[in-house]
């Protein structure tokens, strides 16, 4: 084995350990305590924890770039400031938890799955809640991208299918003050958090959250100018996708738009160099490890299917550079 291969193997094993360190430091309150410089003894006093363990944690955090050191005192890095104190911090911490508690265990089962073991279902309450929290991380970018989708700015009645905790619907209604919103969410506990989110955003008088399945239960009367599918397409089988497209098309107003937010598998050297290709491919593998999830769609094939469903115009808008996360949109004639 060459030194290059040894170094690469070291980076992989180190990344797994650093993820565990990051989550432990956040969960224990150690990193929150480092908002101000502290020595190992001062951190131990703040946490009522063993000084030797605090010292080892601080050294590991410093070596990993999570903390700076001046003399014998340590202070958390800009990354930890962001994770601890920023508005996006909770969503970012949920992404860390997903990597450790959802993705890693799913991939650990891969040898058994390749040997023919049944694929498990996805959708335990904690998984659903964690996914809803993590989905908020790029909502600002998603809202800006949605603004570039044809017809969205004119939308007055908005249907959000699989609305999660309602943060995207709340942001959209705050952005478009004349719009009315209706969110659909399967999980009752998540739907209740969505209602509270709308109240906190002071848009609840223009919105309603409904618990149910849009494919199996009747929607409120009337047509919709905009229907949203934000990060929910991989929860649907191929047959369910086609049925969903047909049902939403039938409920859109003339010129109404279906906007589908979805990750895709990017190609090209830049995507490989930046790690975006690996991130998307690993998420796609995670999806395939479950019997109740579907793989990421091909954006060109998705547009073909939307046209086949009867939509007059189709297109896409990138949410992040490179287009690994995008809105694929379809407009009714």
In this structure, what token pair is assigned to residue 153?
A: 């700015």
Q: Which fold has domain 125-331?
A: Rossmann fold (3.40.50)
CB proximity list for 322: less than 8 A, separation 6 or greater: 266, 270, 271, 274, 276
Average pLDDT over residues 311-315: 97
CA angle 23, 25, 26 (to 5 degrees): 65
Is the per-residue pLDDT at 1 higher than 70?
no
Asked if 170 contacts 205 with a C-beta cutoff of 8 angstroms, the reply is no
- Position 318 scores a pLDDT of 94
Copy the structure tokens of residue 9.
């193997």
Residue 155 near residue 179, CB atoms below 8 Å: yes
- DSSP-assigned beta bridge partners for residue 73: 70
Q: Any idea where the domains of the chain sit in the sequence?
A: 3-85, 125-331
- The 10s digit of each residue's pLDDT in 18-77 is 999 999 999 999 999 999 999 999 999 999 999 999 999 999 999 999 999 999 999 999
CATH code of the region 3-85? 1.10.10.10
SS3 label, residue 257: strand
> Is the full-model pTM beyond 0.85?
yes
Enumerate residues 6+ apart whose C-beta is below 8 A from 33.
43, 46, 47
The Cα–Cα gap between 293 and 298 comes to: 15
């Amino acid at each position: 084995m060459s030194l290059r291969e040894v170094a690469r193997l070291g980076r992989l094993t180190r990344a797994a350990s650093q993820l565990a360190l990051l989550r432990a430091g956040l969960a224990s309150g150690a990193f929150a305590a480092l908002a101000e410089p502290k020595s190992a003894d001062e951190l131990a006093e703040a946490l009522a924890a063993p000084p030797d363990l605090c010292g080892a944690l601080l050294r590991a955090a410093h070596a990993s770039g999570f903390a700076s050191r001046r003399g014998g005192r340590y202070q958390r890095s800009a990354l930890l400031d962001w994770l601890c104190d920023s508005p996006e911090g909770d969503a970012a911490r949920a992404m860390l938890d997903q990597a450790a508690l959802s993705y890693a265990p799913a991939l650990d089962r891969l040898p058994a799955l390749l040997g023919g073991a049944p694929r498990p279902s996805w959708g335990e309450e904690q998984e659903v809640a964690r996914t809803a929290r993590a989905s908020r991380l790029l909502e600002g970018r998603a809202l800006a991208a949605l603004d570039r989708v044809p017809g969205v700015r004119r939308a007055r009645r908005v249907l959000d299918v699989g609305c999660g905790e309602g943060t995207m619907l709340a942001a959209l209604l705050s952005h478009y003050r004349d719009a009315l919103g209706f969110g659909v969410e399967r999980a009752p506990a998540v739907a209740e958090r969505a209602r509270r989110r709308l109240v906190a955003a002071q848009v609840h008088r223009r919105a309603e959250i409904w618990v149910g399945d849009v494919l199996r239960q009747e929607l409120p009367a009337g047509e919709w100018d905009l229907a949203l599918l934000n990060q929910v397409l991989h929860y649907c089988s191929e047959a369910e996708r086609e049925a969903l497209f047909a049902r939403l098309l039938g409920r859109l107003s003339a010129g109404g738009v279906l906007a589908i937010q979805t990750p895709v598998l990017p190609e090209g050297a830049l995507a490989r160099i930046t790690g975006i290709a690996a991130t998307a491919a690993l998420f796609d593998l995670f999806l395939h490890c479950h019997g109740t999830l579907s793989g990421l769609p091909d954006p060109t094939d998705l547009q073909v299917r939307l046209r086949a469903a009867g939509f007059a115009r189709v297109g896409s808008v990138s949410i992040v550079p490179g287009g690994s996360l995008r809105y694929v949109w379809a407009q009714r004639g």
